Amino acid sequence: MASQKVLEYLDAHRQQHVDQLCDFLRIPSISSQSEHEEDCRRAAAFVAGELKELGLVVETIEAGGLPLVYAQSEIKPERKTLLFYGHYDVQPVDPLELWDHPPFEPMIKNEIVYARGACDDKGQVYTHIKALEAYIKQGIELPVNVKFIIEGEEEAGGESIYRYTEQNPEKLACDAIIVSDTALYNESTPGICYSLKGLAYMEIQLKGPDMDLHSGSYGGTVQNPGNALAEIIAKLKDENGHCLIPGFYDDVLELEPDERAGFAELGYTDEILKKETGAPEAFGEEGFTTLERMWARPTCDVNGLASGYGGEGAKTIIPSRAMAKVSMRLVPNQDPAKIAQLFEKYVLSIAPKGVEVTVIDHHGANPVLVPRKSEMMQAGMKALEEGFGAKPVFIREGGSIPIVGTFQECLKSPVLLLGYGLSTDNIHSPNEKFHLSNFWRGARTTAILMEEAAK
């Protein structure tokens, strides 16, 4: 049996793979900081080098910003094709003083590796590379054609991967896209994420008088942009959190009964939520459980408010301006552009008298829904179950991964979000980490997936 030799190889090389991962983690490839551009290019070269050594044809693609690394095995028409996506860049490290050790000097303690990028996403990308390596080094023919596209601008909002995907759908053509950039449901339960929320990020700007006014001299004579902004925000939702923008829910795809049942079985309670967030209580739309609201209901949240004086003590002014950042997390089948329009139209329609109101559309992302019943999904579930030795569950995610929508749209293939991290792995925070057990089980899962996908 082919996969047994592959899995034996992975078991025998655990320490070696961890050592190599640490070499990858030592490269401070922070994409949003231009002084790290050379480091990012070194990280790209590291990935390209590994894939080249495994016999793949590798291209380093300059698409405007930091390079894309593309690689493919021999493409045999009779085999299915898997496209592996990931990113070699990492988040900035500040606040550095909150790290227990230097973020680019990986430290292993209790079978956990601590370093920036350990989980997001170098460690997870590396599970794919090491699964491939196991087949190649054991001289076992790959069950599938493999393609890799590894980018370096994920943490910097770069455009290269989008442009390249839109312009090269045939080159990236595949039967499934594998993305390991999310998390297990919890420590003991693996899961496939089959839906991501989309996003419409808006800003409301109000202008009243030309300058801050003395609130004694002019109080009562002009509209106050701070009060007027509050009126607008207060009309976005009712007191139970239901959004009041006309048409907002029109395209919402309601949950299937079996999805609601599946969520309920996960046993997520408001007590867990309160412990995770410190919020006084759970809150949101009536008629839905907390997990349903988190994963499958659109939201409308203030991300920031600013007006007038925010310092200590008192300053008696009528502010000249007021600003709110408001984002809406969208669910399948909502359209970010349409929602942004509805938002703008509604806000302008409820604008109080005496102020000039401007609405800015910052950016959007499409929601994602992957059918749960496909063969590829079944292959993914089987691989997770074998790789992790536990029954996997279907999960959703309230966040957005914009490239996933672009993959679906341009490549017309299912995206398998096989996350090997934990929600407590401190991605984007100090002391990022990755459990080595999840690193090793992730590599096994990926190797098994290649076989299962071929069936």
* Tokens standing for residue 378: 């079944």
**Residue 329 tokens, joined:** 């997390």
User: Which residues have C-beta within 8 Å of that of residue 151, sequence separation ≥ 6?
Assistant: 66, 68, 69, 85, 86, 87, 88, 89, 158, 160, 161
End-to-end CA distance of the chain: 14
Cα distance between residue 262 and residue 314, in whole Å: 52
398 binds a second copy (CB under 8 A): yes
| Min CB(36)–a second copy separation in Å | 20
Q: Give DSSP secondary structure letters for 157-175.
A: T-SHHHHHHHH-TTTT--S
Q: C-beta of 434: minimal distance to a second copy in Å?
A: 19
Closer by beta carbon to a second copy, 12 or else 211: 211
Residue 205 binds to a second copy (criterion: CB under 8 A): no
What residue type is 423 in one-letter code? Answer: S
Instruction: Please state the three-class secondary structure of 324-386 as a single string.
Output: EEEEEEECCCCCHHHHHHHHHHHHHHCCCCCCEEEEEEEEEECCEECCCCCHHHHHHHHHHHH
Give how far Cα 238 sits from Cα of 235, 243, 244, 288, Å. Answer: 7, 6, 7, 16
CB 73 within 8 A of CB 145: yes
- Asked if residue 110 has a cis previous peptide bond (ω within 30° of 0), the answer is no
Residue with tokens 């090793």: 440
Interaction pattern, residues 133-172, with a second copy; x per rule: CB under 8 A:
----------------------------------------
Sign of CA dihedral 134, 140, 143, 149: positive
Residues 279-298 that bind a second copy (CB under 8 A): 279-285, 290, 293-294, 297-298
The region of 28-36, 94-102, 276-284, 333-341 touching a second copy under the rule CB under 8 A is 276-284
324, 384, 418, 443: which one binds a second copy (CB under 8 A) = 324
Least CB distance to a second copy at residue 414 (A): 22
**Residues numbered 406-435 forming contacts with a second copy, rule: CB under 8 A:** 423
Q: How far apart are CA 417 and CA 370, in angstroms?
A: 9
What distance in Å separates the CA atoms of residue 258 and residue 391, rounded to the nearest whole number?
A: 17
- Assess 362 for contact with a second copy (CB under 8 A): yes
Does 95 bind a second copy (CB under 8 A)? Our answer is: no
Which among 35-43, 49-57, 110-118, 312-320 is the span making contact with a second copy, rule CB under 8 A?
312-320
Phi, psi of 420, rounded to the nearest 5 degrees: -110, 0
Contact range with a second copy by CB under 8 A, out of 6-14, 93-101, 311-319, 444-452: 311-319
Q: How far is CA 369 from the centre of its chain?
A: 14
Q: Name 416's bridge partners.
A: 178
Among 54, 355, 370, 376, binds a second copy (CB under 8 A): 355
Question: Which of 322, 415 has the CB closer to a second copy?
Answer: 322
DSSP letter, residue 189: B
List the x/- string, 329-348, binding to a second copy by CB under 8 A.
x-------------------
For a second copy, which is the closer residue by CB, 67 or 209? 209
Q: Nearer Cβ to a second copy, position 92 or 308?
A: 308
Residue 1 lies near a second copy (rule: CB under 8 A): no
Pick from 250, 309, 333, 409 the residue near a second copy by CB under 8 A: 309
Scanning residues 239 to 258, which ones bind a second copy (CB under 8 A)? 239, 241
Of the pair 43, 427, the CB lying nearest a second copy is at: 427
| Residue 113 touching a second copy (CB under 8 A) | no
The token pair that represents 352 in the structure block: 């109080």
With H, G, I as helix, E, B as strand and everything else as coil, classify residue 214.
strand
Cα–chain center distance at 412: 20
Measured from the CB of residue 178, what is the shortest distance to a second copy in angstroms?
21
Segment interacting with a second copy (CB under 8 A) among 60-68, 207-215, 249-257, 431-439 = 207-215
Q: Which is nearer to a second copy, 324 or 447 (CB)?
A: 324
* 18-77 residues near a second copy, rule: CB under 8 A: none
Among 116, 197, 433, 435, the residue binding a second copy under the rule CB under 8 A is: 197
Q: Say how many residues touch a second copy, by CB under 8 A.
A: 86
| 233 contacts a second copy (rule: CB under 8 A) | yes
Of 111, 301, 333, 409, which one interacts with a second copy (CB under 8 A)?
A: 301
Q: To the nearest whole angstrom, how small is the minimum distance from the Cβ of residue 291 to a second copy?
A: 8
**Which of 38, 304, 412, 455 is the binder for a second copy (CB under 8 A)?**
304
Centroid of chain to Cα 207 = 35
Asked whether position 264 contacts a second copy by CB under 8 A, the answer is no
Amino acid at position 436, single letter: L
Residue reference for tokens 């509050």:
230
Task: Choose the stretch contacting a second copy; rule: CB under 8 A; options: 81-89, 132-140, 302-310, 383-391.
Answer: 302-310
Q: What is the DSSP letter of 152?
A: S
